[in-house]
Amino acid sequence: MIHYRPFIVIVILLVLQTFVYGFTEETDSEIEYSFNWKNTQLEILVTSSLNNITRPLPSLKFSIESEIKQKLPYILLNGIELLTIDSRTKGKDFIKKHPDVIASIFDLSPELVKVSSLFTSNFKTLITKYTLDIYPNIAKLFIQHTRISKLTPILNFIPSADFTGIVIYVDKKLPMYGKQSKGSFRPSLFPRIFDEKLNLLMGPLMVDPDIIRTSGTIGYQTLSDSLDLKRTGLNPLEIKARGLFGINNTDLLISERDADKILSRQNNLDLIKQGKILIIFNDLN
C-alpha cells in the first residue's frame, strides 16, 4: 500500500509530496519529489530504512535498487502529477484530461539518471537520488502548439531601445490581483506575464515550441546567482514585477510603461518568441 503525506522544501521550488513504498520485506522507503527550477530538473530522493537486516548489505542494496528501477515508471508518474504547469493546471489535472500522456511518461523513465545511492553512516538507511531534466524531457509532454501567437507592436511613440533580453525582479511578497493581500510567486512550467490592465504580454503560445523544449519560456534565478547571459544578453530590459495573478500564483503583472517598452519595438517582441526572459527572486525580507 502507498501512503501519502505532505513534504515542503524551502527553496524556489514547489509544495512536494512523499510516497511510501515497501521495496523489500526488509525496508520501508519514502520518495520525495522536488522541481529544481534553477537547475531545471525534477529531483527524486528515495530513502529506504533497513529493518531487521538478515543478509549482507551489498546484496540488500542490489535488491532495493532493482526494485526501484522496476517501479521507476510509476515513481516518475507520481512526480509529474505534482508539477505546476500554469496558473490553473497541475500535472495531475492535465493527465486526467489527457490520459494518453501516461504512456509517454512511462517511456521517459529510462531517461532518469541515478545520481547517487549511498548508505548513511550508521548503515540503517539507503538514500538513492534520481534526476530528470525538465527541458526537453518533461516540457515536451505538455507543448500543444506548433504555431506562435504574435503580438502587434503599438504604433504610438514610446521611449525605448532594442534590448537583448528581459529581466524581471520579483519581491518575496507581491500584491495579489483582485485581493486585499499579498502572496509569494511560484515557479511553473508555463508562467504568463500581463500588464496591470491584464493585457497578456507573454504566454506559452507566444514562444517557439523548439525554444520551449530546449530551455523553456523563461528562466529562473535568485539574486545571488550570476546573470544568465545566454538568456538575457549584455543589455537586458530590467523591470520589477508589480503583482501576482492566477490561482497558483504563477503569473506576474508588470507596469503598462514597462509593457510598452516591449510592445513598441519588434526586436523586443521577438525576445518573447525566443524565450529571452529571466525571472529573478528577491530572497531578502
27 and 124, same domain (yes or no): yes
Radius of gyration of the chain (CA): 21
The answer to whether residue 158 sits within a structural domain is no
232 and 187, same domain (yes or no): yes
Residue 45 amino acid letter: L
The answer to whether residue 274 sits within a structural domain is yes
120 and 178, same domain (yes or no): no
Residue ending a domain, among 141, 175, 204, is 141
250 and 137, same domain (yes or no): no
16 and 129, same domain (yes or no): yes
The answer to whether residue 53 sits within a structural domain is yes
Residue 103 is predicted with a pLDDT of 97
18 and 132, same domain (yes or no): yes
How far apart are the C-alpha atoms of 165 and 272, rounded to whole Å? 9
With CA atoms as reference, report the closest residue to 284 among 168, 180, 170: 170
9 and 86, same domain (yes or no): yes
Residue ending a domain, among 141, 157, 187, is 141
> Quick one: how far is CA 30 from the chain centroid?
22
The answer to whether residue 66 sits within a structural domain is yes
Q: pTM value? A: 0.85
Helix %, strand %, coil % for the chain, to 5?
30, 30, 40
Q: Which domain holds residue 61?
A: 3-141
137 and 201, same domain (yes or no): no
The answer to whether residue 119 sits within a structural domain is yes
Q: How many domains does the structure of the chain reveal?
A: 2
Angle at 25 between CA 21 and CA 29, to 5 degrees: 25
Which ranges in the chain belong to alpha helices (H)?
A: 57-81, 91-97, 101-108, 209-215, 229-232, 256-263, 266-273
The answer to whether residue 154 sits within a structural domain is no
Residue ending a domain, among 141, 158, 188, is 141
With CA atoms as reference, report the closest residue to 81 among 103, 96, 100: 96
> Quick one: how far is CA 188 from the chain centroid?
5
75 and 177, same domain (yes or no): no
8 and 91, same domain (yes or no): yes
116 and 82, same domain (yes or no): yes
Q: How many CB atoms lie within 10 A of CB 14?
A: 21
The answer to whether residue 76 sits within a structural domain is yes
135 and 26, same domain (yes or no): yes
- How would you classify residue 191: left for phi > 0, otherwise alpha for psi between -120 and 50, otherwise beta? beta
pLDDT in tens, the chain (285 residues): 233 333 323 233 333 344 445 555 666 889 999 999 989 999 999 999 887 677 788 888 998 999 999 999 999 999 999 999 999 999 999 999 999 999 999 999 999 999 999 999 888 899 999 999 999 999 999 999 999 998 888 877 788 899 999 999 999 999 999 888 999 999 999 999 999 999 999 999 999 999 999 999 999 999 888 899 999 999 999 999 999 998 889 999 999 999 999 999 999 999 999 999 999 986 644
Residue 167 is predicted with a pLDDT of 97
b/e burial code for range 108-136 (CB count within 10 A of at least 16 → b): bbeebeeeebeeeeeeeebebbbbbebbb
Cα distances from 21 to residues 1, 28, 55, 188, 285, in angstroms, run 7, 6, 20, 28, 39
Q: How many CB atoms lie within 10 A of CB 52?
A: 7
The answer to whether residue 257 sits within a structural domain is yes
Residue 154 is predicted with a pLDDT of 84
How far apart are the C-alpha atoms of 87 and 90, rounded to whole Å? 9
